[in-house]
Chain A
Amino acid sequence: MKSQLVLEDGRVFHGESFGAEGTRIGEVCFNTAMTGYQEVLTDPSYYGQIVAMTYPLIGNYGINEADGESAHPQVKGFVIEELSEFPSSWRSQTSLPEYLATHGIVGIQGIDTRALTRHLRERGAMKSCLTTENLTVEEARRRASEGEGVVGMDYVRVVTTPEPYDWDPDDANSRRWDVTRSAGETDPSASALPPARYQIVAYDYGLKRNILRRLRQHGFKVRVVPAGTTAADVLSLKPDGIFLSPGPGDPSALDYVHRSVRDLLGKKPIFGICLGHQMLSHAFGGRTYKLKFGHHGGNQPVQDLATGRVDITAQNHGFAVDPDSLPPEVEVTHINLNDHTVEGLRHRSLPVFSVQYHPEAAPGPHDALHFFEQFGKLIDDSR
């Protein structure tokens, strides 16, 4: 079925529909990861967005239960160049088009995603209308510009958990996944979970499963709480530390979160990732601003300014922290070597640090995994 992607500036891309039919409006961004489309689709941080993959061949290894980063796809729409209808992988349980159809996600293929990427690179991320309906370009464009986009949007309240819960209380779903030993089975000695040394609270602004798994693999028992939970309620749980998760939407639109985080500063060790990092910045009194087209992919070089060491990191953010807005007691610890934007912060006296990118990867490289260990140390040191 014919389908079109109309950008708010009037640029039109024609393609073929796959997955669900219908019309979806959202900010379109591009992701440069060559593997990991399932993780991208299910990452809550993409809520409200239409995602285009720069790698042209998508769907090759299908979809499997284990690789979902949340219960269902979170993107509004999915834009690719060529769909592999017949997946090939021992892990595959269903195909990409079936999966999207089941979950009502509109997909479009046959798009020159390089042309789209170049357009967004030059003009910046923008709203768009992805539709299988027979809309005129003008109509689609109107709907795109009247749509929500990301700026000023609180999507956190949509994706956060409605109720608090304990992550994996039976330690059944957190083991390290491995294929280097004994025929794909998990080698118990290599992947056995360490004893739970820390009880922490994780704010769910849009948690990915792999963050929870990684925390557990590093000795954390996690109580997940909704984004709106107050500082007092969190502290009443007497956690050893507090984790601030990634999440979708505009970081400056989350006053209630800024407040609760501010109230937690200095009370407990805090580690923030992505939106969590931006929430900390706001809590410190800093600002965030929208990047032209953001960082979405698995090849972003980040340098640790203290050691000079470079990690290749998984990133997914459309906003960044303005370093000039931060108070002197907050130190920039990491920068992106491509555009020198802020990638990591720490407070000089309080047990608080954060990174803008994704140590949990999924998808992407594992170089930055060490931050989970660092969080444990931070808790140890402040005990």
Chain B
Amino acid sequence: MPKNPDLKKILLLGSGPIVIGQGCEFDYSGVQACKALAEEGYEVVLLNSNPATIMTDPEFAARTYIEPITVEIIEKIIAAERPDALLPTLGGQTALNAAMDLWHQGILTKYGVKLIGANAEAIDKGEDRQKFKDAMLKIGLDVARSGVVHNLEDAREVARQMGTFPLIIRPAFTLGGQGGGIAYNKEEFETIVARGLDLSPVSEVLVEESLLGWKEFEMEVMRDRADNCVLVCSIENFDPMGVHTGDSITVAPTQTLSDREFQLMRDASFAVIREIGVETGGSNIQFAVNPQNGRMIVIEMNPRVSRSSALASKATGFPIAKIAAKLAVGYTLDELKNDITRETPASFEPSIDYCVVKVPRFTFEKFPQADPVLTTQMKSVGEAMSIGRTFKEALQKALRSLETGRFGLGADGKDQYPKLSDGSWDRETLNQRLSVPNAERIFSIRHALLAGYTVEEIQGLTGIDPWFLRQIEQIVTMEKQIPTQTSDVLFAEIPENERTEEKKTAVLRGAMRKWKKAGFSDRQLGFLFGIPEEMLRAGRLKYGVLPTYRLVDTCAAEFEAYTPYYYSGYGDEDETRGGDKRKVMILGGGPNRIGQGIEFDYCCCHAAFALKEEGFETIMVNSNPETVSTDYDTSDKLYFEPLTLEDVLNIYEREQCWAVIVQFGGQTPLNLAAALQANGVNIIGTQPASIELAEDRKHFAALLEKLDLRQPPNGTAINEDEAVAVAERIGYPVLMRPSFVLGGRSMEIVYAEEDLRRYMRNATSVSTERPILVDRFLEDATEVDVDCLSDGETVVLGAIMEHIEQAGIHSGDSACVIPSFSLSEGVRQTITEATKALARELQVSGLMNVQFAVKDETVYVLEVNPRASRTTPFVSKAIGVPLAKLAAKVMAGRKLKDLGFTREIVPTHFSVKEAVFPFVRFPGVDITLGPEMKSTGEVMGIDADLGLAYAKSQMAAGSPLPQGGNLFISVKDTDKPVAVGLARQYVELGFQLYATSGTHAALAAEGIPVKKLFKLSEGRPHVLDMIKNGEVAFIINTPSGKQPRADEVRIRGAAVTYRIPIMTTLSAAAASVNGIRSLQGKGLSVKPLQEYHAGIGRA
């Protein structure tokens, strides 16, 4: 029976901001769900607080709410929209938790809203540790021995009963295993249990037998209303148990299970989904297997679409989220078609004829104080996936997709070998790098093999299955052989009298193909032969060693596939198809990392949509499995490939593209732009030369001078002494940063020579071409971001965004507001003119972002980026104009005049973008903000009232502004005069103020009622006690300097742990006053984006 006729309107919940453990995979699943439900004629009401998503584009749902995902807000939406059903299984843990809260509070019953996909009982059974364990035992499956506890005392008792360490601690209902860990001794046990109890919304923690060193597997299964079950994809983890699966290298399909073991795991997976009662949709079930005897244990299940299911969809071509949405409305699997083969139904199991490897992307460099050891708590911020005919090929491709400057598994001249001063291997360090899981362990395995370790030794240290280690050994063996395989050596294989040119060519081709099949990049081969990459490439082309592109077809070639989703290999046949349209290649952004996230993927998708409309054939290249851009539905063709010069040129040449777009995918494609152009690639839009010009200090200064624009005094330096000289000339404080980086990588504000010298000593890869930039830092200036669109003739501003935090805090980390709220008309005018002048002078075709600082009515240009910016989607949502789409059309030759976008839109409503941070993942890291970007995602608050828009943004970011209670305030001396005025307002709003001696004295002196608290060193109870007891509702704490006092760091850390809203700048504290005032006065209301946009009344 097909879809359920009782449903008409369906509320779909998104997953909110990108955080560690919840990335853009839920935009992918949400977009698929929106499209699938709309296709079936349902009216979709969507809620998501994340403006950088494709799903929140107004055309993807009938009614789109960019509002906080909280029970309070959802109830308002339900009351206004009266949906028939709520679909909570496609928006990650956020949506599932929200749905459970709504259910517990009786709101769904009250409004007669049906939960579809998974019901509350199933969600509860799948997520509640004890219920899950009982359910597993009931159906005869094995689980790890464990105990569920709600307090420390019970935890100790469970530990005593188990009688052995290590023990695993898993808090209930937290994202990505947050707050969990492995305790090797009693002390660690107590610390981790206490943290887990705190973080778990239900104060529940599971203490479990350690399965360290066991093999880990995941099964992605789907079930329909008629109880048909299919296994979409099996995944085997490279890293054994003990490393969160999100932080593990993972491989699809399983490699080391015999069919007997595999089928038992499949049976178990179906038994789990049935027993838990997930009625329709996808689930992810994790297993551990003892490598000694095969004992199989169920670890956990997610009764929803997950990060792994996005990976599984990309790995197999089976669109799990789309099918899940259709199953939720009543279809059965056999009633749905497999899009890829068209002929066959969705009730089948993909058979894949390649190997898929996913490698996580970490950003520990952003958080130097964080513990880089990988544990059961997820720490990675993104991932790259690759597809190859062999594991070796897929692994090397995945490693060169990571955007960490590597070109495969080493052999690229970038290794820092652990060696002692006498040149011998530092085995102690190596042993440690192998035995303690870390982000670089895969490279250490290679080092160990080079150092002569046996596979057995490495297995003993790492617990990694020898099958994987043998594969790596084969790569290393080949790496060692390659430099000896010169043409003379190869030709010697041919008997002397038969050495014809033809035979020689055949031998060379054979050797080259063998290396390529093992995944060696041109760069690696060049390095091994001691020649430049270009020369290697030229040789490879000369001998006709070209990649062949194969289809991801769900069926191992058994049936013809219609969906052009490709990966490269070096096989016998190429399956690409010609086309008569002009082809434009869009380069994506690669793995998500801090500074380069979903915003750029959003832009790439828009380029694909726009150019399809313009009649081009669009070709997407990307390596990030979480994204919408790597949905085979987004572009005409999808190449799941690394974004390196070699891989991109190969596709460009095979497809005979007309042009390439590099300005949408963030820094990744921009870094390739010059080399692509040098290889004859037609780059459309703003030319690489202009992009370089904007980055080049000297030229840029000259440009500003020509345009009569001001910038903070500055200079460049390539060594310590030069830097000191520049700083002395322009005066401290100075802002230091390298050229060509995104996300403020290694940016720092330096107040004294000593710090400046330290900075220069630590700076890496500095050269004359890429010097360190030194700018005078403007203290307490207002920062302004502008996004504009230019077609070479017309320049139109997207928006002038006024930052809440002062200049000096990375623009990606500060809250900002559209339209500006405090800038004078004169300043706005200056900014507008400056932006237009810059766009014209740089001959911008497409998007451009400019950052300004405004101090005492003077406007300074800080930075110009002639490309799509992180704020492009936010601006587009705020003003109701798809900027990226228009930009793509402009790049392809259209004029803004023809596209109907000729003047800036200044909306009457306020849109606030707020950043979201991963601090809760990195205990011990100070949460203060600076010029280096640290946020992983963003949310948007919209309202007619600025205060409410700001309050919504805080609520959406997970730290809702309190409307009263105890406020702890502690500010640095220079902030005290301003703090007095603010404090007074907080008192007026009804807050009880608390402060320690310094701030207390300053406030008391002005007659502000404030209670005095002990500093941490002065006695108890002190502020931390109050925080832990839940007696503090709000904290204002500005850092005292670059080297903050230990007290402050602990207070800020506690605020994060105990989820108490905290403001670390006075500007944010001031914005909060307005927010709280509005909340108290007006209360919250909701309104869909479509209505805001209709209200704009576009010209």
Chain A residues with CB under 8 Å of chain B are 13, 30, 32-36, 38-39, 54-57, 60-61, 64, 66-67, 81-82, 84, 86-91, 112-115, 117-118, 121, 177-184, 190, 297-301, 303, 308-310, 312, 337-339, 361-366
Contact = CB atoms under 8 A, between A and B. Distances in A.
Nearest to B141: A180
Contacts of A60: 255-256, 467
Interface in B634-692: none
B258 interface: yes
A53 B214 CA distance: 29
B354 A56 contact: yes
B351 A184 contact: no
Nearest to A184: B293
A35 B259 contact: yes
A338 B263 CA distance: 22
B557 interface: yes
A114 B390 contact: no
Contacts of B334: 301, 303, 308, 310, 337
Interface stretch (B223-231, B742-750, B991-999): B223-231
B269 to A, nearest CB: 11
6 nearest CB pairs, A to B: A36-B259, A88-B467, A184-B293, A363-B259, A54-B556, A112-B572
Given A121-B557, A190-B140, A299-B348, A362 B259 contact: yes
A86 B228 CA distance: 38
Interface in B334-349: 334, 343-345, 347-349
B345 A180 contact: no
Given A112-B573, A299-B348, A67 B259 contact: yes
Given A89-B258, A177-B260, A308 B558 contact: no
A188 to B, nearest CB: 14
A365 B343 CA distance: 22
Contacts of A178: 264
B378 to A, nearest CB: 27
17 contacts: A35-B254, A36-B259, A38-B259, A55-B352, A55-B556, A56-B353, A56-B355, A56-B390, A57-B390, A61-B256, A61-B258, A81-B390, A91-B258, A118-B557, A121-B558, A121-B560, A312-B230
B270 to A, nearest CB: 9
Given A121-B557, A179-B295, A310-B228, A337 B255 contact: no
A39 B264 CA distance: 16
B98 to A, nearest CB: 33
B453 to A, nearest CB: 16
Nearest to B555: A32
B944 interface: no
A33 B389 CA distance: 16
B142 interface: yes
A312 B290 contact: no
Interface of B: 140-142, 226-228, 230-231, 253-264, 266-268, 289-296, 332-334, 343-345, 347-355, 389-391, 465-467, 470, 550, 555-560, 571-573, 575
A309 B296 contact: no
A345 B289 CA distance: 40
Nearest to B142: A180
A117 B556 contact: yes
A190 B264 CA distance: 14
Tell me which of A35, A67, A177, A181 has the highest count of chain B C-beta atoms within 10 A of its own C-beta: A35
Contacts of A298: 349, 351
Contacts of A117: 353, 556-558
Contact of B559 (A81, A112, A338): A338
Contact of A297 (B256, B268, B558): B558
Contacts of B354: 56
Contacts of B557: 30, 54, 114, 117-118, 121
A179 B297 CA distance: 9
A35 B257 contact: yes
A255 B556 CA distance: 36
A interface, over-half SS: loop
Contacts of A366: 263, 266-267
B139 to A, nearest CB: 10
Nearest to B344: A338
B259 A364 contact: yes
A188 B543 CA distance: 63
Contacts of A308: 226, 332, 334
B473 to A, nearest CB: 9
Contacts of B389: 56, 81-82, 114
A64 B258 contact: yes
A361 B258 CA distance: 13
Nearest to A55: B353
A35 B294 CA distance: 16
B351 A32 contact: yes
Given A32-B558, A61-B258, 20 more contacts: A36-B258, A36-B259, A36-B262, A55-B352, A57-B391, A64-B258, A82-B390, A86-B467, A114-B556, A114-B557, A179-B261, A179-B294, A180-B141, A190-B140, A297-B558, A308-B226, A310-B345, A338-B348, A338-B559, A363-B263
A66 B294 CA distance: 14
B261 to A, nearest CB: 6
Contact of A57 (B142, B255, B333): B255
Nearest to B558: A32
A53 B226 CA distance: 33
A67 B260 contact: yes
A17 B429 CA distance: 42
A256 B102 CA distance: 69
A91 B294 contact: yes
Contacts of B260: 66-67, 91, 177, 362
B470 A86 contact: yes
Nearest to B352: A34
Nearest to A84: B467
A90 B291 contact: yes
A237 B344 CA distance: 45
B295 A183 contact: yes
A114 to B, nearest CB: 5
A86 B470 CA distance: 7
Contact of A39 (B255, B259, B295, B560): B259
A183 B296 CA distance: 8
Contacts of B291: 90
A181 B258 contact: no
Contacts of B227: 309
Tell me which of B263, B267, B296, B573 has the highest count of chain A C-beta atoms within 10 A of its own C-beta: B263
Nearest to B455: A86
A208 to B, nearest CB: 13
A35 B258 contact: yes
A180 B263 contact: no
Contacts of A181: 140, 142, 295
Contacts of B264: 177-180
A266 to B, nearest CB: 34
Contacts of A81: 389-390
A263 B849 CA distance: 85
Contact of A180 (B268, B332, B470): B268
Given A32-B555, A183-B290, A115 B255 contact: no
Nearest to B252: A34
Nearest to B265: A179
Contacts of A34: 253-254, 351-352
A299 B261 CA distance: 17
A178 B261 CA distance: 8
Tell me which of B345, B355, B467 has the highest count of chain A C-beta atoms within 10 A of its own C-beta: B467
Contacts of A338: 343-345, 348, 559
A261 B411 CA distance: 66
B257 A61 contact: yes
Contacts of A177: 260, 264
A89 B256 contact: yes
A299 B554 CA distance: 11
Contacts of A67: 258-260
Nearest to A111: B572
Contact of B348 (A66, A87, A312): A312
A299 B256 CA distance: 19
